[in-house]
């Protein structure tokens, strides 16, 4: 019954909502790897093979073999939908309507805003329909709610004001007429009164493709319009629809030049919502969602209650990097970390009286990848998982090109053997399953061998000395390192690492995979990342034509 009414409503308006590309993809969103069925982390999700290319002696480079669709009609994510509805309807608080929507399928793309996974299937059609109904009910539930939305009492003014917010541009004359007719239909169907007409208009607009999709239509290479730029910038940096003032700026031509657009971007970067967006970026890239479900039942001293603290301190650290105008270099090399009552003993520091505190965690740790959450997540009970740690470092920071891997999954850590270190056991196992893969991945993980499965510093392994030395064939040359601190120093200075980070940020900003013709842009952005902050990297991307012009066709 509900879907039938939705189809009738859309037919009344002459609109339709469907897929933006050929067929529905087989899945979506962020899981690059997982912990298999291990008792350390979340269940499910096999571990992909290594992604670094080349044979013996070859140098790596940032892989740009993505498969972009270059869609110019891109659906909002569930989160963007939620925030946009909240702002369009002037809700005083969030209602988490989208919590009931179908969740993204993991395993296809790094980020859940990638064009490949933003489609509308029958279930999502119903989600958006029921979501629009719920939002309309809240917006018209009282005279106060309606007054917050629109202070007048005329249908034409209501349609014009709401339409501009929902469609992120002024309505056409034809659209105004259709929605005014829909307002009148609401009064006839549900009884006379402003709320009846307003409710049906809200339902119609929130199910319209003009709301559900952000468009960049027109010839390839042409500059985006002011309204398109306002929408693109706001959804990227703030995670929501453009404000009335930003739409006013677009209407006045105040986003036409690079300097004007950069000014708008800089203002957004100081908005607390930008901090939340960059937290989401780092969270998806580094699998922060996994941290809440870490379990180590074979380790008596592990308290599952601290798993929630893992995510809190990680997000607090990402927020600090962004708010203090720092960048990737500090993310890799900072000697500070947030600790709470549960994590403090793992760092060997005094616990804060309450909440989280930023602490110096000593000279043995550098940056996020040597903090307890990352180390504890990529481990197996009390033992470090050197293979997975190495794989995560390679995938996140090096973006190496594809090469033959060891199979669909990486091997699990080998069992303990008397007088044998973890490194010795791993080396013995991986020597038989694809040395060409593990000779690159494993040394990255071995650099962190002096931290156990709980992320605690250790001096010996099974009574034996710990070997943290290794090397990696960076694009600029083979780099040797003595331990994790030395590795982070090397990575923080590597052009390849900053290009890789720029690739991740650009993919997140544009909502698509990157390909070889994007390399010049990424190399330019990599130079900014290498010497400046994350905010300046964002500004540099906003300035580039890749952000400001239309794309079309195949790579």
- 446 pLDDT above the threshold of 50: yes
Q: Cβ(240)–Cβ(84) under 8 Å? A: yes
Burial 226-259 (b: 16+ CB within 10 A, else e): bbbbbbbbbbbbbbbbbbeebbebbeeebbeeee
- 12 pLDDT above the threshold of 60: no
DSSP one-letter string for 156-176 = HHHHHHHHHHHHTSPPPHHHH
Q: What is the mean pLDDT of residues 166-194?
A: 95
- 535 pLDDT above the threshold of 50: yes
Helical H segments across 302-434, by residue range? 307-323, 328-333, 344-347, 372-377, 386-393, 422-430
Q: Which residue(s) pair with 549 in the sheet?
A: 223
Top mean pLDDT of 201-215, 296-310, 412-426 is at 201-215
Determine the pLDDT at residue 162.
Answer: 98
Q: What is the mean pLDDT of residues 63-87?
A: 95
Lowest mean pLDDT among 55-69, 127-141, 203-217: 55-69
Each domain of the chain, given as residue ranges in start order, spans 1-30+76-215, 276-492
Lowest mean pLDDT among 181-195, 276-290, 497-511: 181-195
* 219: DSSP letter: S
Rg (CA), the chain: 26
Q: Cβ(543)–Cβ(214) under 8 Å? A: no
Top mean pLDDT of 52-61, 95-104, 169-178 is at 169-178
Comparing 135 with 59, which gets the higher pLDDT?
135
Instruction: Give the model confidence (pLDDT) of 475-506 as tens digits.
Output: 999 999 999 999 999 999 999 999 999 999 99
Q: What is the mean pLDDT of residues 167-181?
A: 98
Lowest mean pLDDT among 292-296, 428-432, 466-470: 428-432
Burial 321-332 (b: 16+ CB within 10 A, else e): bbeeebbbbbbb
Q: What is the mean pLDDT of residues 377-386?
A: 94
Q: What is the mean pLDDT of residues 77-94?
A: 97
Comparing 434 with 415, which gets the higher pLDDT?
415
Spell out the residues 6+ positions from residue 192 whose beta carbon is closer than 8 angstroms to its own: none
Spell out the residues 6+ positions from residue 177 whose beta carbon is closer than 8 angstroms to its own: none
Mean per-residue pLDDT of the chain: 87
Helical H segments across 89-151, by residue range? 122-139, 143-149
Determine the pLDDT at residue 59.
Answer: 82
Q: What is the mean pLDDT of residues 219-246?
A: 97
- 46 pLDDT above the threshold of 70: no
Comparing 432 with 235, which gets the higher pLDDT?
235
Q: Cβ(220)–Cβ(552) under 8 Å? A: yes
> Could you tell me whether strands 73-75 and 464-465 are parallel, antiparallel, or unpaired per DSSP bridges?
unpaired
- 474 pLDDT above the threshold of 90: yes
Band (pLDDT 50/70/90 cuts) for residue 551 is confident
DSSP one-letter string for 450-468 = TB-TTS-B-SEETTEE---
- 22 pLDDT above the threshold of 70: no
Determine the pLDDT at residue 400.
Answer: 77
Band (pLDDT 50/70/90 cuts) for residue 411 is low
Q: What is the mean pLDDT of residues 249-269?
A: 97
Lowest mean pLDDT among 180-184, 323-327, 345-349, 408-412: 408-412
Q: What is the mean pLDDT of residues 12-20?
A: 40
Share of the chain above pLDDT 90, in %: 77
Closest C-alpha among 42, 64, 45, 105 to residue 410: 45
- 434 pLDDT above the threshold of 60: no
- 140 pLDDT above the threshold of 50: yes
Comparing 45 with 89, which gets the higher pLDDT?
89
The DSSP element (H or E) to which 359 belongs, if any, is strand 357-360
- 206 pLDDT above the threshold of 90: yes
Determine the pLDDT at residue 433.
Answer: 59
Instruction: Give the model confidence (pLDDT) of 283-336 as tens digits.
Output: 999 999 999 989 999 999 999 999 999 999 999 999 999 999 999 999 999 999
């Amino acid at each position: 019954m509900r879907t039938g009414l939705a189809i009738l409503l859309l037919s009344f308006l002459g609109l339709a909502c469907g897929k933006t590309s050929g067929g529905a993809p087989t899945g979506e969103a962020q899981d690059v790897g997982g912990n298999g069925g291990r008792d350390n982390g979340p269940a499910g999700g096999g571990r992909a093979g290594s992604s670094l290319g080349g044979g013996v002696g070859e140098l790596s480079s940032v892989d740009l073999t993505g498969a972009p669709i270059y869609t110019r009609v891109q659906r909002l994510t569930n989160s963007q939908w939620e925030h946009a509805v909240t702002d369009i309807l002037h809700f005083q608080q969030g209602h988490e309507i989208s919590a009931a929507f179908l969740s993204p399928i993991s395993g296809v793309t790094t980020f859940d805003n990638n064009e490949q996974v933003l489609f509308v299937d029958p279930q999502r059609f119903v989600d958006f329909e029921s979501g629009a109904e719920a939002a309309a009910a809240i917006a018209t539930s009282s005279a106060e709610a309606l007054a917050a939305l629109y202070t007048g009492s005329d249908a034409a003014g209501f349609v014009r004001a709401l339409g501009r917010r929902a469609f992120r541009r002024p309505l056409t004359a034809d659209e105004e007429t259709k929605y005014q007719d829909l307002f009148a239909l609401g009064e006839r169907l549900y009884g006379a009164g402003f709320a009846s007409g307003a409710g049906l208009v809200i339902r119609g607009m929130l199910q319209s493709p003009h709301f559900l999709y952000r468009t960049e239509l027109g010839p390839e290479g042409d500059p985006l319009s002011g309204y398109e730029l306002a929408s693109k910038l706001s959804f990227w940096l703030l995670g929501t629809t453009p404000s009335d003032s930003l739409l006013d700026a677009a209407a006045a031509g105040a986003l036409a030049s690079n300097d004007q657009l950069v000014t708008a971007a800089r203002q957004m970067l100081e908005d607390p919502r930008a901090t939340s967006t960059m937290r989401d970026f780092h969270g998806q890239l580094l699998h922060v969602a996994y941290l809440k479900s870490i379990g180590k039942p074979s380790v008596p001293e592990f308290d599952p209650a601290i798993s929630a603290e893992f995510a809190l301190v990680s997000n607090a650290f990402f927020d600090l990097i962004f708010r203090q105008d720092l960048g990737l270099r500090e993310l890799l090399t900072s000697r500070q970390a947030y600790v709470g009552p549960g994590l403090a003993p793992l760092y060997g520091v005094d616990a804060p009286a309450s909440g989280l505190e930023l602490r110096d965690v000593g000279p043995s740790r550098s940056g996020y990848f040597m903090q307890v959450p990352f180390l504890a997540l990529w481990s197996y009970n009390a033992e470090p998982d050197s293979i997975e740690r190495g794989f995560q470092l390679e995938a996140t920071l090096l973006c190496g090109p594809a090469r033959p891997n060891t199979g669909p999954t990486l091997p699990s850590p080998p069992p303990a053997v008397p007088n044998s270190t973890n490194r010795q056991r791993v080396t013995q196992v991986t020597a038989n399953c694809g040395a060409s893969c593990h000779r690159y991945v494993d040394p990255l993980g071995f650099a962190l061998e002096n931290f156990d499965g709980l992320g605690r510093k250790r001096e010996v392994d099974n009574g034996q000395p710990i070997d943290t030395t290794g090397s990696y064939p960076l694009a600029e040359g083979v780099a040797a390192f003595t331990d994790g601190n030395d590795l982070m120093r090397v990575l923080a200075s590597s052009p390849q690492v900053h290009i890789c980070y720029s690739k991740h940020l650009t993919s997140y900003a544009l909502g698509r995979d990157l390909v070889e013709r994007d390399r010049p842009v990424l190399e330019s952005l990599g130079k900014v990342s290498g010497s400046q902050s994350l905010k300046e990297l964002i500004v540099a991307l906003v300035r580039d034509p890749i952000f400001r012009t239309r794309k079309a066709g195949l790579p």
